[in-house]
Chain A
Amino acid sequence: MTLLKEPDHGTPAKPGEATVALEVDGIPVSVPEGTSVMRAASLAGVDIPKLCATDSLDAFGSCRLCVVEIDGRRGTPASCTTPCADGMQVRTQTPKVEKLRQGVMELYISDHPLDCLTCPANGDCELQDMAGVVGLRQVRYGYDGANHLDEEKDTSNPYFDFDASKCIACSRCVRACGEIQGTFALTIEGRGFDSKVAAGAGETFMDSECVSCGACVQACPTSTLQEKTVVDLGMPTRSVLTTCAYCGVGCSFKAELRGDQVVRMVPYKDGGANEGHACVKGRFAFGYATHPDRQLKPMVRDKITDPWREVEWDEAIATVATRMKALQDTYGQGSVGAITSSRCTNEEVYVVQKMVRAAFGNNNVDTCARVCHSPTGYGLKQTFGESAGTQDFRSVAEADVIMVIGANPTDGHPVFASRLKRRLREGARLIVVDPRRIDLVRSPHISADHHLQLRPSTNVAVVNAMAHVVVTENLADKNFVAERCEGYDEWAAFVALPENSPEAVEEITGVPAGELRAAARLYAGAPNGAIYYGLGVTEHSQGSTMVMGMANLAMACGNIGRDGVGVNPLRGQNNVQGSCDMGSFPHELPGYRHVSDDAVRTVFEDMWGKELLPEPGLRIPNMFDAAIDGSFRGLFVHGEDIAQSDPNLGHVTAALEAMELVVVQDLFLNETAKFAHVFLPGASFLEKDGTFTNAERRVNRVRAVMPPKSGKHEWQIVAEIATAMGYPMAYDHPGEIMDEIAKVTPTFEGVSFALLDKLGSIQWPCNEAAPEGTPTMHVDEFVRGKGRFVVTSYVPTSERSTRRYPLVLTTGRILSQYNVGAQTRRTHNVAWHAEDVLEIHPHDAEDRGIADGDLVSLASRVGATTLRAQISDRMPTGVVYTTFHHPVTGANVVTTENSDWATNCPEYKVTAVQVALAPQGDRAAAEPAEVRA
């Protein structure tokens, strides 16, 4: 493939069915009402010269290069800001406009460095192109007058440079920062000739509010804002369309390469999830894929105290197969299992669970979704009948009231957050339910109507109280409930109980009753009310209950089954949804069908030629318990670092040490690999071929831009292990795996690589009834028929603050880092977050004599670690917060074994802790964290 360039029609498309008809240079064209003349011309095949216009931004009308003549109108209007009208006759090439354009270009070029041949943007510069298009042949003004050619270059950002000498002050970067990203970090400083782009108040880009999303770089028509990789490597020559491997937004990208070397990642305009936008991770933090820390050869060792020995693939695969079989011969069929990865493709996940079920002969397979969104699967299945979110991301543009619960989208799901912020700037109202004052509560042009700053662990009490208001104030959508749902009366009677009133729970939740009542009325009264939530909902002892509580609330208010509404999980990792869809849970085969269902099992038995067990297998925490107990002896860990990410690490590492065979497949020798006997090198997303499924059920193609550096695809390795264990598994291409998935999974019935290539992406269910997928679920009826109200009794967590551990720790992630940091720590993103810090309220800090930047000890009943304090009033008193991106901090050393009652999802968000100033001279932050048995 050559370099893929999407068409740029100059101004955004206008929605609506009413059209107007006009002629551009005699060519008839019909466009939606409100469309600009520039866009209409482009659609008619006539490109009008432009510099300040691009179709990702609203028209601005500053460069005056796009002037045209319109019959019957005076002057030469800018085509970008002039809407089309019926019967309009537009002339884009007349002597008058040609002369005007040359004059404009002459002025631009008179103040622009004439270094095109050595400029990094040579060949990809709109100014250069336009000079040619308008036929500029001379600059009459000379270059000796006042100019900007000596402006200083800002190289502070690790990923891009800002060369002010090349700036034409078109404001595209400023507008991209505001309109697309919603950060408003950039501005035009000064007036007239002194106008210049500035980051913040005269700061460098690095010191400003800039979040390095790169929208400004993408929007820049010159080389003013330029990726450093382009400066270093030169312009790319080919593109491969693929999907980001970071968060669950699942952005589509053009990987732009020279040969096999990625020069830059450019978000794809036709990407359904991101529509041309990206964040600092997806756009820039891909360097880990070629980091020298990558282990590219398989390795084995007898004991974890032995040194690693590099071997060939055949030996590594034989070692895994032989030792797994030996364990089963000695300890039984159920003594081994596997953990699938939410970072890997659907095809890779599918073959791992197939290996477990068909080659291992048990159901001991679980996924890292266990520790994040398993309550989503349980709760939405119970209430709606399907373990997935209800909407596509575009839906938020139709929401009138948006409730964000236990999620921090600007950090965790930044590209979705940009969509959300855009809708808020258009006037949608916002309710934030979170113990922490996340950025959405108040940021440029955004202010939450209500911030319900609840105490950690009281989600269910809050959602019940909101439901109490809806029911007792007669705000429910009775028609929707009567037609679409069941179990309402029992549920309504429950939430109407006095003990569920906002006043009654105020002491428990810490949320003022009046504020909660107002928020409930706002949500219930909205024409379209949408709920978005994250791990602040699921990672609790009542995570599943809270998911059902939100589903109840949405059904009661009729907020299901159309654009602008819904209950929407913001998934943590790129393929959490897909890994769950693919049968990674120990009780479910692909498509969320229980292993005890004879008819379902028969489908797989016929396809796989192997009898399957009807009993559920072990979940991840159960595997650890069983390892310590002695009945579970061998584990295949596919792309997950359980020795850093899972709770109560002392228990996790004890379990890993107790096992006789731990196989790790990963890019790097991670923390878990310290306990491994076999290391199998994995493939980065740039080497993968397959599909990811994002949080909106969108199946996206992941295409390899280079062959696997280890020499084998991951699905291939798994198939070879299964074959070596006596269960032949052979595929020639991942497309064949998807074909098999489609045959055995009704929701994927119509999905194929061919259809994905044709449509770009597909949101499941994709079947005969929905041959191109399903953007919105439960439209006419719920998947289970009637939506089911479930009584959600509030049960306080057993994790309580005590005199010894008086504070509550809650954890989360930060924009620049991703999960355990294995990828982002190996990029320049460490410039923003070189270590995990503990956010602590000024009062709690003062009580303990802690100053900003002090090393502090953080201790719970299961462990202790040391990290730096950051004084912050984002947390209420009594609550502290940290991230878990750095193994040296080991934040999960202190989190406990408590978990969601229904799914065993860990209660990461609630740990009773004490914080104290670390002893003088303590250097423990650089030491391994202490683990108490």
Chain B
Amino acid sequence: MSAAEASETRMANDIARNLAHLGFDKAAAELAGHIGRFWDPRMRGRLLAQVDAGAPGIHPLVEQAVKLLR
């Protein structure tokens, strides 16, 4: 995994941890919305690729948010 790939996972996990108090479904929706609103498309693409590649340490909320982003 390149440094850049690791960045998207790390940033998404950070957002997930900070939204987790909302409850799973709402947090996942908020996370997907945040990424859609603030991330460049290529970053979203890299995150999706990282999840598809089964990158380690991905927060469950990120996995769910990625489903919503697709």
Interface set of A (CB-CB < 8 Å, partner B): 334, 363-364, 494, 541-542, 545, 586-587, 594, 596, 615-619, 621-622, 625-626, 628-629, 631, 651, 791, 793, 795, 798, 897, 899, 901-904
Binary interface encoding of chain B residues 1-20 relative to chain A, with 1 for a CB under 8 A from any of its CBs, else 0: 01111010011001101101
Residues in chain A near residue B2, CB distance under 8 A: 628-629
Complexed CA–CA distance, A651 and B10 (Å): 16
Residue contact A628 to B3, C-beta cutoff 8 Å? yes
A649 to chain B, nearest CB (A): 15
Can you offer 26 A-B residue contacts whose CB atoms are under 8 A? A334-B40, A364-B40, A587-B37, A594-B37, A616-B37, A616-B39, A619-B40, A621-B7, A622-B7, A625-B3, A626-B4, A626-B40, A626-B42, A626-B43, A628-B3, A628-B4, A629-B2, A629-B3, A651-B3, A791-B21, A791-B22, A793-B20, A793-B21, A795-B18, A901-B14, A902-B15
Residue contact A616 to B40, C-beta cutoff 8 Å? yes
The answer to whether A587 and B42 touch (CB under 8 A), given A625-B7, A897-B7, A901-B18, is no
Q: In this assembly, does B60 line the interface, its C-beta being within 8 Å of a C-beta of chain A? A: no
B6 to chain A, nearest CB (A): 9
- Among A616, A793, A897, contact of B18 (Cβ-Cβ < 8 Å): A793
Residue contact A629 to B18, C-beta cutoff 8 Å? no
Residues in chain B near residue A545, CB distance under 8 A: 18
Report B35-69 residues with CB < 8 Å from chain A CB.
Answer: 37-43, 46
A382 to chain B, nearest CB (A): 11
Complexed CA–CA distance, A791 and B5 (Å): 30
A757 to chain B, nearest CB (A): 38
Complexed CA–CA distance, A429 and B4 (Å): 48
Residues in chain B near residue A651, CB distance under 8 A: 3
The answer to whether A901 and B4 touch (CB under 8 A), given A587-B37, A622-B40, A622-B43, is no
Complexed CA–CA distance, A791 and B19 (Å): 10
Residues in chain A near residue B20, CB distance under 8 A: 793
Central interface residue in B5, B15, B18, B40, by most chain A CB within 10 Å: B40
Residue contact A902 to B7, C-beta cutoff 8 Å? no
Residue contact B40 to A902, C-beta cutoff 8 Å? no
Q: Is the interface of B mostly helix, strand, loop or mixed?
A: helix
A630 to chain B, nearest CB (A): 9
Residues in chain A near residue B34, CB distance under 8 A: 902
A628 to chain B, nearest CB (A): 6
A443 to chain B, nearest CB (A): 37
The tally of CB-CB contacts under 8 A between chains A and B is 70
Residue contact B17 to A795, C-beta cutoff 8 Å? yes
- Among B4, B5, B38, contact of A616 (Cβ-Cβ < 8 Å): B38
Q: Is the interface of A mostly helix, strand, loop or mixed?
A: loop
Considering the complex, give the chain B residue whose CB is closest to the CB of A632: B42
Residues in chain B near residue A903, CB distance under 8 A: 38
Central interface residue in A617, A629, A897, by most chain B CB within 10 Å: A629
Complexed CA–CA distance, A899 and B2 (Å): 19
Residues in chain B near residue A795, CB distance under 8 A: 17-18
Central interface residue in B4, B17, B34, B37, by most chain A CB within 10 Å: B4
Residues in chain B near residue A334, CB distance under 8 A: 40, 42
Residues in chain B near residue A629, CB distance under 8 A: 2-5, 46
Central interface residue in A334, A594, A622, A798, by most chain B CB within 10 Å: A622
Complexed CA–CA distance, A17 and B17 (Å): 55
- Beyond A541-B14, A897-B10, list 14 extra A-B contacts (CB 8 Å): A334-B40, A616-B38, A616-B39, A618-B42, A618-B43, A619-B38, A622-B40, A622-B43, A628-B3, A629-B4, A793-B18, A901-B11, A903-B38, A904-B11
A372 to chain B, nearest CB (A): 18
Contact-size category for B: 20 to 34
Complexed CA–CA distance, A791 and B20 (Å): 11
B3 to chain A, nearest CB (A): 6
Considering the complex, give the chain B residue whose CB is closest to the CB of A793: B21
The answer to whether A902 and B3 touch (CB under 8 A), given A334-B42, A616-B38, A618-B43, is no
B42 to chain A, nearest CB (A): 6
Complexed CA–CA distance, A617 and B41 (Å): 8
Q: What are the nearest 8 A-B pairs in CB distance? A: A629-B4, A793-B21, A625-B4, A901-B14, A901-B18, A625-B7, A618-B40, A795-B17
Complexed CA–CA distance, A594 and B11 (Å): 21
Complexed CA–CA distance, A899 and B12 (Å): 12
Complexed CA–CA distance, A793 and B21 (Å): 7
Complexed CA–CA distance, A394 and B62 (Å): 46
Residues in chain A near residue B41, CB distance under 8 A: 615
Considering the complex, give the chain B residue whose CB is closest to the CB of A615: B41
Considering the complex, give the chain A residue whose CB is closest to the CB of B21: A793
Residues in chain B near residue A793, CB distance under 8 A: 18, 20-21
- Among A363, A596, A628, A897, contact of B37 (Cβ-Cβ < 8 Å): A596
Complexed CA–CA distance, A899 and B43 (Å): 16
Complexed CA–CA distance, A541 and B10 (Å): 12
Residues in chain B near residue A904, CB distance under 8 A: 11
Considering the complex, give the chain B residue whose CB is closest to the CB of A791: B21
Complexed CA–CA distance, A625 and B6 (Å): 10
Residue contact B38 to A587, C-beta cutoff 8 Å? yes
Residues in chain A near residue B22, CB distance under 8 A: 791
B12 to chain A, nearest CB (A): 10
Complexed CA–CA distance, A615 and B3 (Å): 24
A573 to chain B, nearest CB (A): 23
B14 to chain A, nearest CB (A): 4
Residues in chain B near residue A594, CB distance under 8 A: 37
Residue contact B17 to A901, C-beta cutoff 8 Å? yes
Complexed CA–CA distance, A364 and B39 (Å): 11
Complexed CA–CA distance, A541 and B14 (Å): 8
Residues in chain B near residue A615, CB distance under 8 A: 40-41
Complexed CA–CA distance, A617 and B14 (Å): 20
Residues in chain B near residue A625, CB distance under 8 A: 3-4, 7
- Among B3, B4, B5, B40, contact of A617 (Cβ-Cβ < 8 Å): B40
Complexed CA–CA distance, A545 and B22 (Å): 14
Complexed CA–CA distance, A494 and B22 (Å): 11
Complexed CA–CA distance, A363 and B17 (Å): 28
- Among B10, B18, B42, contact of A631 (Cβ-Cβ < 8 Å): B42
Considering the complex, give the chain A residue whose CB is closest to the CB of B40: A618
B30 to chain A, nearest CB (A): 11
Complexed CA–CA distance, A596 and B46 (Å): 21
A540 to chain B, nearest CB (A): 12
Residues in chain B near residue A897, CB distance under 8 A: 7, 10
Considering the complex, give the chain A residue whose CB is closest to the CB of B42: A631
Residue contact B4 to A586, C-beta cutoff 8 Å? no
B43 to chain A, nearest CB (A): 6
Residues in chain A near residue B7, CB distance under 8 A: 621-622, 625, 897
B46 to chain A, nearest CB (A): 8
Complexed CA–CA distance, A798 and B10 (Å): 11
Considering the complex, give the chain B residue whose CB is closest to the CB of A363: B40
Complexed CA–CA distance, A494 and B42 (Å): 37
Complexed CA–CA distance, A791 and B27 (Å): 12
Residues in chain B near residue A798, CB distance under 8 A: 14
Considering the complex, give the chain B residue whose CB is closest to the CB of A651: B3
Considering the complex, give the chain B residue whose CB is closest to the CB of A460: B18
Complexed CA–CA distance, A631 and B41 (Å): 12
Complexed CA–CA distance, A596 and B40 (Å): 12
Residues in chain B near residue A494, CB distance under 8 A: 21
The answer to whether A901 and B3 touch (CB under 8 A), given A587-B38, A616-B38, is no
Considering the complex, give the chain B residue whose CB is closest to the CB of A586: B40
Complexed CA–CA distance, A494 and B23 (Å): 13
A596 to chain B, nearest CB (A): 7
Complexed CA–CA distance, A510 and B39 (Å): 36
Residues in chain A near residue B18, CB distance under 8 A: 542, 545, 793, 795, 901-902
B44 to chain A, nearest CB (A): 9
B38 to chain A, nearest CB (A): 5
Considering the complex, give the chain B residue whose CB is closest to the CB of A904: B11
Considering the complex, give the chain B residue whose CB is closest to the CB of A596: B37
B21 to chain A, nearest CB (A): 4
Considering the complex, give the chain B residue whose CB is closest to the CB of A629: B4
Complexed CA–CA distance, A345 and B11 (Å): 32
Complexed CA–CA distance, A617 and B40 (Å): 5
B9 to chain A, nearest CB (A): 12
Complexed CA–CA distance, A618 and B11 (Å): 14
